[in-house]
Structure 1
Amino acid sequence: MEIGVPKETKDQEYRVGLSPNSVRSLSDRGHTVFVERGAGEGSGFADADYLQAGAQIVLDSKDAWDRALVVKVKEPLPDEYPYLRKGQMLFTYLHLAANRALTQALLDSGTTAIAYETVELPDKRLPLLAPMSIIAGRLAIQFGARFLERQQGGRGVLLSGVPGVKPGQVVILGGGVVGTEAARIAVGMGAQVQILDVNVDRLAYLETLFGSRVELLYSSASQIEAVVPAADLLIGAVLVLAQKAPILVSRQVVQQMRPGSVIVDVAVDQGGCIETVRPTSHSHPTYIEAGVVHFGVPNMPGAVPWTSTQALNNVTLPYVLQLAKDGFGALDRNAALAHGLNVHQHQLKHPAVQDVFPDLAPKLVS
């Protein structure tokens, strides 16, 4: 099969869909990989590395897109919509629930779109989302600590504190992978940490990880209203599969936070769980609203592409190999991959995305 790897076009997105090691695995099995010139440079991979792995280097995006299977990292942007076409398979993160325009473009084009974030194992784990969630959770604290610095608009709080001065207060909404990894870094820095979650079993598991080092609270509207105003750093770490994140923190609660506090909403790629958060970019990562610094970059792992590209490829490669071998038949042979199917033959396929856009869902014939 011919496989295309375009260069990512999202602002400061330096990850790449396939690493040279992944290309080597595909080439060794007789597939031909077409990599856009410079696609891997941001991740530390030169064109020469891809050539050595057996790839062909193409000079523009169209040549990379014009293949049976296109492997990316982030969703197509409007400038890339013309490359979408019938008979093509697209394998990438999509997050359609927060992007009606892209959903419509995929439906119009006839592209078969398989989303990393909805590939789901029988035990409900999301194997292609997990490594980026780990990285995003760890980065959330790293970015939050930076923007708490006074020169960045923050309160001037050192999360670790020092002898004689109390540490910073970190509140994390959601105890899944993102929230757990954020807590791991925050605890390591010496911050005071609270995690809120509605899953009591998950809270019990987190107690086995953190013991008394983290305060574990059942998430409710009144609990959120009680703890958020005192947070130096608020982390949004809520995930609802293929749907928009629920708004857990209202504008009124944000207005009660202290000036210079920081919000990092990792759920922003699914719409965000904090009312005042809107998407930003690595070039312009923050804005101030109600005196609070807001960080809403939806592609946070793009800040550490050498690590994140390899972590992503470690989990996507088996699925890419199966798609390259079996084509559309891979969706019949691999139930986890079938869960990843969002759009096929001009139809919206994933039930959760259908719930978000009921007017775009296939109409039942009585």
Structure 2
Amino acid sequence: MPMRHAAQAARVSRAFLSSWRCHPNLAFSKETLGLNENACVNVKKSKYFASTVRHIMKNHSGIGVKTFRLDSRRTPMYNFPCSLLSDGGGESLRYLHLAGCNFHPTVRFGCLRSLTRLQLCAVCIAGDELECLLSSAFALERLALKHCSGIICLKIPCLQKLNHLEVLTCIGLHVVESKAPNLSSFCLAGDLDMELSILGTSRIRKYERFCSGTVFYARTELPSSMPNLETLTICSETETVDTPMVHSRFLHLKCLTIILGGQTYDVFSLVSFLYASPCLETFILNRISLLEDPPILRNVSEHHHSKLKQVEMIRFSSVKSLVELTCHILDSATCTVNKCGKCFPIRRDALVEAQRALLAIQTYIKPKVPSTIQLNILEPCSRCHVVEMSL
């Protein structure tokens, strides 16, 4: 039963009231409290939101709340009362998710000894305040920070059980320092000049990085700093330096996803990743925008990627370097190649490019497809886009 309905039932049923007060999972938002869009910008309604949260938490004191979610992004000037989780109030808490509020824990905040997952989104909190909170979260396994611009230096203490760290678009962040020895999954969106000090990077199996220039960085730096990577996702909106062919290798990499742009980037240079990953099974390439067009189709020395089972090209185009890369994969692997996109509104220039891409597939790629390889092509729906193409 949704929390709003449970609270309403508790008003009219004494028996249900007792049951409601023992409910261990609480979620607060404008929807669960019945506040519409106009009400949420009203100061009185904002006070109502705050008083309701405090009242419900007071009634649940001592019963062992396990999950606490609060989203006040559409309720202005909400200060989360840390007293709600102090004096033993947070000892049973396992999952804490706060969004769109001011949150300022201090040394008197209390112990969160049962907390295994913490997620803060658009929360106003300073780095030292977060460090104070983490210092008592000995059981923490997953930490996610999104759009927390007040954090300049993120310091994570020696949390033995922390295995997943996610830091996305915290625009004020300059330093990430982690002493957690067992981190195995790390997701980071931030500039390459961000100072990173991560203990035990050799234990990291999954890494996601979102920033311009990260393709070059990943190929040249990660094989040595994260030698045991199994899953790698890199996204670069602007990649102007081609990927070099270097000797370092990803000996354990099984899944590689690359999302890239860069108007002068040579996609064919991504073959360096294929050569460096002898255990690669899945390769996904999502092209944002490419204008580079080498004069002739190139090829490299024959190299078999025997482990590669699936290749997916999203937003495939007629750019020759992309055609070259696809041809190389077909010549050197036994796998399924998917060239796909979804049927949604598409600009006319994109539809024209899609037709060019289909022509490139028919001309250069299909003749190279052996009988052991399945080629799947998902093209723009002719029924949905016939009008646009005829304009």
Which TM class, normalised by the smaller chain length?
under 0.3
Considering fraction of residues, name the structure with more helix. 1
Larger radius of gyration, structure 1 or 2?
2
Considering fraction of residues, name the structure with more strand. 2
Higher relative contact order (CA 8 A, sep 6+): 1
TM-score, with structure 1 as normaliser: 0.24
